[in-house]
Each structure stands twice: as C-alpha cells, then as structure tokens.
Structure 1
Amino acid sequence: MASRRIVAVGGSDAGISAALRACELDPDGEVTVVVADAYPNFSICGIPYYVSGEVCRWSDLAHRTLADLTATGMQVRTDTLAPASTCSASGFRCVMPTAAPSNCRTTH
C-alpha cells in the first residue's frame, strides 16, 4: 500500500487514537494531528476531579505529553484550527464516519 498523508482533526481521545492507529497501519505514512489548543490528549472528563481536588495538578489530566505523541512519528500542530472550508480548499478529502463499517462487530 502506498504511504498516505493523514490529518486527524482534534486532540482528544478520538483524534489521538485515530492518529496512533494510522501510524500503526501505515508506518511510512505522514500523520498529523491538528489541535485547537495547546493541550493534546487532555482529558476534559477529568476536570471535575481537578476542581474537587482529587487531581492536584491540571497538567496531570493529559494522557500523553507532546513529546510522547511526536515520539510515535506523528506531527502535532497545536493552537491550530481546521475549519471545513480550509480542508476543502487544501484539496483534502474529508472523511466523516456516520456509522460503524459493515465489518465491525458490535456487542450489546
């Protein structure tokens, strides 16, 4: 398979997981994650634990550091927005899954 250029938009768990999986499937590919803020892989769900004092440092809510992510071979662009109009103008083909692929197994 030819190497691909893949851009994952969003630095939360879904975007980072997609980018990590893309790196696994195509080690020669160019994988970039676009993050709107400066905190990739930051656990927004953990904010109540920080507010309550169960987590003392807000930085502990990050699952991985920027260095951890770049060590996987992906590029991470923080403080970057990716509006749909930019994707289209850049020649990107935006893929937005709306349902699980037919070969996915689901559990109930």
Structure 2
Amino acid sequence: MTEKFFNKEEGILYFKVRGDVTFEKMIENVESLGNDSTLPKKLKILEDSRLTKDSNLKVEELPAIAEKLQEYLGDFHSIRHAVVHESAINTAIAMVFNKLFSYKNYEINVFSTIEGAKTWLG
C-alpha cells in the first residue's frame, strides 16, 4: 500500500510505502508522478519505505522501471528523490538502480533516517 501527499510548506512530496514492494507497485508509483499536474517542476520526493517487506524485485525489472520514469522526467526541471529504508535488500536495490541509471534531472539517494533524507533534500 502506498500513501502519497504533497506538503506545500516544505515543498516535499511524501510517499509512505508499506507491505510488499512489487514491480507493479513501483510502476504505479512512477505513473502517479506523471498524472499529477499540480506538482512543482523542481520536485522533492521523500519516500518512507521503512515498513516494507524485503523486495521481490529482480534486477532484470529495473530497466523497465527506469524506462517508465524516463517517460515522465520531461515534465520536471529536476527531481530529488530521497528513499528511507531499513531493509538491507531494499537498500541494495535502490543503490543498484542509482548506479545503473543516471539522468541529468533525476537524483536518488538512500537514507536510514527521515532527518537525513530531509537534510539532503534541502
């Protein structure tokens, strides 16, 4: 399950992800960015995934997620995406994604605390 809300005062889009991390859920979350014209063009995302189970995503699925993300990147000047994980497997998958796919207007970084993520987002 994913909850999403935009905090106008902070300028941060919050995702709270719980339960299973699936390929379908990842695609759905990416698509929600492109379907929301109210988001700022310089988008900051704080994804709290501390309550997720260990991911069953496969490395082979990451290119399709990256391709879907690339479809929507043109809608934004920049996206800074901070992900907070407790699971070592989920942290590793996010780090692999970061290493494999580089975009000039998209940055992703992995954190163990909300405070660290907020500091990086600025």
Shared fold (TM-score, shorter chain, > 0.5): no
More strand by share: 2
More helix by share: 2
Which TM-score applies when normalising by structure 2?
0.30
Bigger Rg over Cα: 1
